[in-house]
Amino acid sequence: MKKTLLACVAAFSVGAAWADYPEKPLTIVVPFAAGGPTDKVARDLAEALRKPLNATIVIENVGGAGGTLGATKVSKASPDGYTLLLHHIGMATSPALYRNLQYKTLDDFEYLGLINEVPMTLIARPSLPANNYAEFLKWIESNKGKINLANAGLGSASHLCGLIYQSTLKVDMTTVPYKGTGPAMTDLIGGQVDFMCDQTTNTTSQIDTGKVKAYAVTTTKRLGGNLAKLPTLEESGMKGFNVTIWHGLYAPKNTPKPVLEKINTALKTALKDADFRKREEALGAVIVTDGRVNPAEHKKFVEAEINKWGPVIKAAGQYAE
């Protein structure tokens, strides 16, 4: 009886101690440089979170090492709810990509909820002769050993999509990594590389203006808007091909439960914010509305993604120290 009473008192004390959270500005760490797609998602979300949390939110860009430097910083931050991490699919792929990862993805963070999913598009240099996906496949078949596949660097969305695309086709290509999407896109438009698979946040405007050729999307269903005419890779013969780049929110391990609950509640409110949804949809992103907005389902999803991408990355033998 005494133990039960003490446990109740302790739980009440913890809740009471954090009743006024947040009492100072929050920092959301983005593990990539400013101006990129993940940074854009973070800034849009911060704006939508300010009202339900009644707090100032600061974005801190900690780029480097494929997002692992920023993630490491948050994993070692004080577990008080004032330092959060907004990360993309790299949370699931880094365990396979990096031999000396300084954190444990499933053990060193509190999961707060998934935010969005961003489709990928298969795009090529404007001078590539194929005008649709069927012709593109024929072009690949007749140019084996001479194909250059660009990506934005190890662990980037374009790198991961390229890996699984090659694996599915069972065709080896020369991978050309760049230090970011910008230079990769510049060389693609200029014809220095052949094609790239990258997220709609980076490719939609280039497709709309005719600067690149677009052949397919990586989702199981066709997209809307200006991309509606593009077939899915699944309907084009790659059964089960489904690659999206998702973003989630995290806190350091052992952040108090009352704080986590407040953040998760605010996140769910932010995801329904009309302005936030409009900004995300303009980038081709799909707001998550299913159970993965809850911590347990978010973590379960990331674990499944780790199991999905690990074998693909290991089979490709592409690692970083």
Range in 20-34, 75-89, 116-130, 150-164 with the lowest mean pLDDT: 150-164
Write the DSSP assignment of 6-70 as a string of letters. HHHHHHHHHHHHTTT---S-EEEEESS-TTSHHHHHHHHHHHHHHHHHTS-EEEEE---GGGHHH
Q: Which residues contact 144 (CB under 8 A, 6 or more apart)?
A: 171, 172
Across 154-162, average pLDDT:
88
Q: Which of 125, 113, 202 is nearest to 157 (CA)?
A: 202
Residue 259 sits at φ, ψ, to 5 deg, of -70, -45
Percent of the chain past pLDDT 90, that is, above it, reads: 73
Q: What is the pLDDT of residues 182-228, one digit of tens each?
A: 899 999 999 999 999 999 988 988 999 999 999 999 998 898 888 89
The β-bridge relationship of strands 26-30 and 83-87 is parallel
Query: How does DSSP assign 105-125, residue by residue?
Result: TTTSEEEEEEEEEEEEEEEE-
- Closest by CA to 170, choosing from 137, 195, 199, 217, is 137
Output the six-digit token pair for 208: 């709309």
Q: How far is CA 124 from the centre of its chain?
A: 22
pTM of the predicted model, to two decimals? Answer: 0.86
What pLDDT, on a 0 to 100 scale, did the predictor assign at position 10?
Answer: 43
**Nearest-angstrom CA–CA distance, 247 and 21:** 24
Q: How many Cβ atoms are within 10 Å of 246's Cβ, its own excluded?
A: 22
Structure tokens at 257: 């439960």
Percent of the chain past pLDDT 70, that is, above it, reads: 94
What are 91-149's pLDDT values in tens digits? 999 999 998 999 999 999 999 999 999 999 999 999 999 999 999 999 999 999 999 99
